[in-house]
Chains A and B, each alone.
Chain A
Amino acid sequence: KAGVTQTPRYLIKTRGQQVTLSCSPISGHRSVSWYQQTPGQGLQFLFEYFSETQRNKGNFPGRFSGRQFSNSRSEMNVSTLELGDSALYLCASSLGDRLGTDTQYFGPGTRLTVL
């Protein structure tokens, strides 16, 4: 079974621009979660999508948004980029059945640099 894929792997943008990151989950997984990883803040939860609906959201400004398509693929968008948005963005997929054993499997991440 193929793992979680994320595109692009690297991205360089300038302040004020917007960016869209893509995530394809493991086949059969219906939940996709996004995390931001920075040296200062560590790993922080952005949001989770399940069956095309946002099911949970972390404490991030409205500039961060996402969506999920009927094939469970997900995109996240960051508008009006700030220098502090430079980070590794990780996508994780799981069955999403909310049982304790539901394990999230991560993609390789997208490294975003904002200049």
Chain B
Amino acid sequence: AQKITQTQPGMFVQEKEAVTLDCTYDTSDQSYGLFWYKQPSSGEMIFLIYQGSYDEQNATEGRYSLNFQKARKSANLVISASQLGDSAMYFCAMRAPKAGNMLTFGGGTRLMVKP
């Protein structure tokens, strides 16, 4: 069974500062993928970044980077230079090919960016 844990229900960050959203995961599979999604109040889930379990380097996509520590089973999302538009729910998710194509999601972190 797979499990994703996000321990920060809500966070505040000052505009233009960096913020780290925590995610830990549990799986017995050797091959898996980790994803972060952003969900604004409109409801749509927006894909942000992907990290494969065999990737040796941390993934980066623009202002988003994923701090992947495999031994600690953590995949934290780092957002640099926060913008007001970053205010949203953020979900960490895992997919293990052995379990099919389903995504297992964490409970989410609500990020609020202060001007």
Binding site for B on A (CB under 8 A): 31, 33, 35, 42-43, 45, 48, 50, 55-56, 58, 88, 90, 92, 94, 96, 98-109, 111
Q: Which of B32-81 contact A (CB under 8 A)?
A: 32-33, 35, 37, 42-47, 50, 52-54
Is the beta-carbon distance between B33 and A100 smaller than 8 angstroms? Answer: yes
Residue of A nearest to B42 (CB): A108
How far, in Å, is B27 (CB) from chain A's closest CB?
A: 12
Let me know if B90 is at the binding interface, CB within 8 A.
no
In the complex, the number of residue pairs spanning A and B with C-beta atoms less than 8 Å apart equals 71
Is the beta-carbon distance between B47 and A42 smaller than 8 angstroms? Answer: no
Residues of B within 8 A of A109 (CB): 43-44
Is the beta-carbon distance between A55 and B47 smaller than 8 angstroms? Answer: no
Interface size class of B (residues with CB under 8 A): 20 to 34
Cβ 8 A contact of B50, one of A55, A58, A101: A101
Is the beta-carbon distance between A56 and B102 smaller than 8 angstroms? Answer: yes
Question: What are the 6 A-B residue pairs with the smallest beta carbon separation, nearest first?
Answer: A56-B100, A106-B45, A43-B105, A45-B102, A100-B33, A108-B44
Residue of B nearest to A32 (CB): B101
Residues of A within 8 A of B103 (CB): 33, 35, 43, 45, 92, 104
Cβ 8 A contact of B101, one of A42, A94, A105: A94
Is the beta-carbon distance between A100 and B100 smaller than 8 angstroms? Answer: no
Known: A92-B45, A109-B44. A103 touches B101 (CB 8 A): no
A76 to B50, CA, bound (A): 28
